[in-house]
Chain A
Amino acid sequence: MTVALDPPKASFRLGMLLYDTRYRSITIQVIFMILIVVFFFWLYENVVTNLRAAGKDFSFGFLWTRAGYDINQMLVEYSSDSTHARALLVGLLNTLFLAFITCILATVIGVIAGVLRLSKNVLVARLMEVYIETFRNVPVVLWIVLVNAIMAVSMPEPKDYRGENPTAEMLFFDSVAITNRGVYVPEPLFSRSLGNTDIGIFLISNDLLAIMAVVLASIWGYRRLQANATRVQNDTGVRPVTWWKGLAIIVLPLAALLAATGFHLGYPELKGFNFVGGVQARNSLVAMWLALSIYSATYIAESVRAGILAISRGQTEAALALGLQPGLATRLVILPQAMRVVVPPLISQYLSITKNTSLALAVGYMDLRSTLGGITMNQTGRELECMLLLMGTYLTISLVISSLMNIYNSSIKLKER
């Protein structure tokens, strides 16, 4: 077939910049670009002028100078002689740690509340509704400060645990002590410890590494076991019973490792006026953790509920009509679809939990904002650098989490025309 060539185009007129679809978009974008560049240049000029007027320069060199302040809760070694960069690291780890434990607790509470909210039992469903509405509609700062106040004012002092007739008692077989100075929990100890590895930035416990390696290996083994079972099922039609093998693969290696390293718990004990031994979780941490978890759980509960409701009843009916047992129907048909709906809002909730950890300011937990954006900034007077670094760090964390979410979303996307 012949291919017709374009007829010669009409010559260019100025009006075409606006009324020709080919040029119009370029015109708009060029104007937009110019406005943005002018705006940013204006900002830049102002910053330069203002910095000069204040006699400051713009440099991140201060990060390598002595911090000179103490941090009361840390996951890696730090002293007031460490650098500001080190303080930043301590703050960042504290932020991530808080975010991590909050995500776990919030998910547990949220899933339970979301499922109970849909319970046929009216009483339970109502109770959950009251919980969800109460916590969602009141600012989270209020919950954080409230929990902190309860901890500080209403919890027993360490001295209450002393004497012949203590007014307070430790919980869980004398292993946990809740006081107004914090919560003391048992710490994991290894009598035949494997020592530590210095990875350049901080020391990391070899025991922990070994445990992680063994757990990962067990999970790998378990998946091999399941894959093998599926292969047998594909070949013969009968799925072999694997639960006891699976249990053994998960439990035995870990138990062996713990026994070999002499794992035991160090319980907190009252010595003098305070508890020693165990791990002390400060009130600030506990308050942040509990308040943020209970608050965020309400959002998770709502998305779990939406996820369950989103699966049409037709799906359940179709699965049951095919003769699948209810358990199998849930596992093979309902759950995969529910996950599709629930996981994205769940991850974005994790994102907002991470950002909300910056409210630690309200109770004095030493997170990223309190170290870098707090004491370091006040001491060095470098607001611009500190804020940029602080926002950049949060932005990076957010982008990492949301790109994980995007990967997940595209992997589960339904194939549709």
Chain B
Amino acid sequence: MEDASYVRSEMLPAQSPPASETGIVHWVRANLLSSVGNIVLTLAAIYVIYLIAATIGPWLYRSVWNAGSLQECRAIIEANFGPGKSGACFAVIAQRWEQIVFGFYPRELYWRPTLTLVLMLVALGPILFAWVPRQVLWFSITFPAVAFWLLWGGTVWLPVMIVAGFVLGYVAFRVVSELNGLAGVVAAAVVPVLWWLFLCGPASDVLQSILPIALRELGSDQFGGFLLSTVIGISGIVFSLPIGILLALGRQSDLLIVKTFCVCFIEGFRGVPLITLLFVASLLLNYFLPPGTTFDVILRVIIMVTIFAAAYIAEVVRGGLAALPRGQYEAADSLGLDYWKAQRLIIMPQALKISIPGIVGTFIGLFKDTTLVSFISLSDPMQIVSSIRANTEWNGIYWELFMFVGLLFFIFCFSMSRYSMYLERKLKTDHR
């Protein structure tokens, strides 16, 4: 029998792997050519890529950026590349891009939406990225009022007075809750509502007559194109998140009536297509409001889109809530935190983090769904595209226009989804 004992006398240093395991050749072999099936897949993929490139490449190469009509475009392409050749006619974009982006907003006022966009990016800074100074958050909070004033114009005092309602509510809360906690909450709800209903309008009129500051007022019919989509989309996103969270909490609560109401609300709005809700907004809302009330069609659409998205957000957040271990609730209870504090400090930060992909997915869906407003004759980009296509000069053109509109949406939606991935990664590393 052999002696089984063995003692290593010197330790082996680490060596680099054999050449066949590294390098580009190895990579190609391992990833593209590892088996017969894999080779077939690679060949098929190369063929598909070739097909796409061979179709789109020459078409893009022969593009025309300067022409007055589709016929002119085609003539230019034939003159340059010979008869029967087709090419992209981007001249339509060059000529009409402003309309697709801004709708019927007066050209000399384009600076207003542009400035709003820039300010929006500033306002988003502290919300999206941790390195932006926290003080900017104050600007973020007032941004909706600023944006409203810049986009619709009119007197500056109306948005100021609306914001004043919130301030009043806060003051009322602080003052009254000194006496009684619950009365404070009631006061915080009642005072601003009374202010908005009865005093807000007159106060802004008075202030306007004392110190007139106003921009040219624009009606909602002048909104269109990507501007309209963005206004509806962003408002829907901003308002649907808090409502969705409340609905999710209601659905998870022990209070039977509240719970039933939330379930019906959520399932009801999730069960119908958004387009029917938009029809309700445009056709039926007048039946449900006191006679003679009219309000802005964009506002109605925003309300409907918000409610619709909120129902989806509620379901996403509910998933996040359900994923939290019960121990978190118990720990919060045992430390003496009350329901709202526990929700705000312990439960929601975690539940929302779990639901980030779902929430952002809903936001992306909401943003894409803004194109449905064309069905109730608002001039969203799709509507403007069809009106351009109905034009005699551009009759028969479609790829170029759809590419442009699609690209605008793609940039917006794709960056949102990438941001959510970044956020998920960032919050995850906090933990390890």
Answer yes or no: A and B touching, Cβ < 8 Å.
yes
Interface set of A (CB-CB < 8 Å, partner B):
18, 25, 28-29, 32-33, 36, 43, 46-47, 49-51, 53, 116, 119-124, 127, 133-134, 136-142, 145-146, 149-150, 153, 355-356, 358-359, 361-362, 369, 373, 383-384, 387, 390-391, 394-395, 398-399, 402
Q: State the Cβ distance, A70 to closest chain B Cβ, in Å.
A: 22
Q: Is the CB of A123 within 8 A of B42?
A: yes
- The tally of CB-CB contacts under 8 A between chains A and B is 153
Q: A133-B414, A394-B276 are in contact. List 15 more A-B contacts (CB 8 A).
A: A43-B288, A46-B287, A46-B288, A46-B289, A50-B288, A120-B38, A121-B38, A123-B41, A124-B42, A136-B364, A137-B417, A139-B368, A139-B409, A141-B374, A359-B372
Q: State the Cβ distance, B141 to closest chain A Cβ, in Å.
A: 28
- 18 A-B residue pairings within 8 Å (CB atoms): A28-B255, A32-B261, A49-B290, A50-B288, A116-B41, A120-B38, A123-B46, A138-B413, A139-B369, A141-B382, A153-B398, A362-B375, A373-B279, A383-B283, A383-B287, A384-B284, A394-B276, A399-B267
Q: State the Cβ distance, A18 to closest chain B Cβ, in Å.
A: 6
The residue from A28, A122, A394 contacting B273, defined by CB atoms under 8 A apart: A394
**Which of B182, B275, B369, B386 has the most A CB atoms < 10 Å from its CB?**
B275
Q: State the Cβ distance, B274 to closest chain A Cβ, in Å.
A: 8
Closest to B282 in A: A383
The residue from B268, B274, B288 contacting A47, defined by CB atoms under 8 A apart: B288
Q: Is the CB of A146 within 8 A of B402?
A: yes
Known A146-B398, A369-B276, A384-B284; judge A394-B32 contact (CB<8 A): no
Q: A399 to chain B: which residues have CB within 8 Å?
A: 267, 271
A53 and B374 CA atoms in complex are apart in Å by: 30
A325 and B405 CA atoms in complex are apart in Å by: 51
Closest to A18 in B: B182
Q: Is the CB of A120 within 8 A of B34?
A: yes
Q: B273 to chain A: which residues have CB within 8 Å?
A: 355-356, 358-359, 369, 394
Q: State the Cβ distance, A175 to closest chain B Cβ, in Å.
A: 25
Verify if B291 is at the interface (C-beta below 8 Å from A).
yes
Q: Is the CB of B45 within 8 A of A138?
A: no
Question: What per-residue 1/0 map shows which CB atoms of B22-51 lie under 8 Å from chain A?
Answer: 000000001110100010011011101100
A140 and B382 CA atoms in complex are apart in Å by: 11
Q: Is the CB of B398 within 8 A of A395?
A: no
Q: A373 to chain B: which residues have CB within 8 Å?
A: 276, 279
Question: What per-residue 1/0 map shows which CB atoms of B249-272 lie under 8 Å from chain A?
Answer: 000001111100100000110111
Q: State the Cβ distance, B6 to closest chain A Cβ, in Å.
A: 29
Verify if B406 is at the interface (C-beta below 8 Å from A).
yes
The residue from B31, B271, B409 contacting A395, defined by CB atoms under 8 A apart: B271
Known A122-B32, A359-B275; judge A50-B375 contact (CB<8 A): no
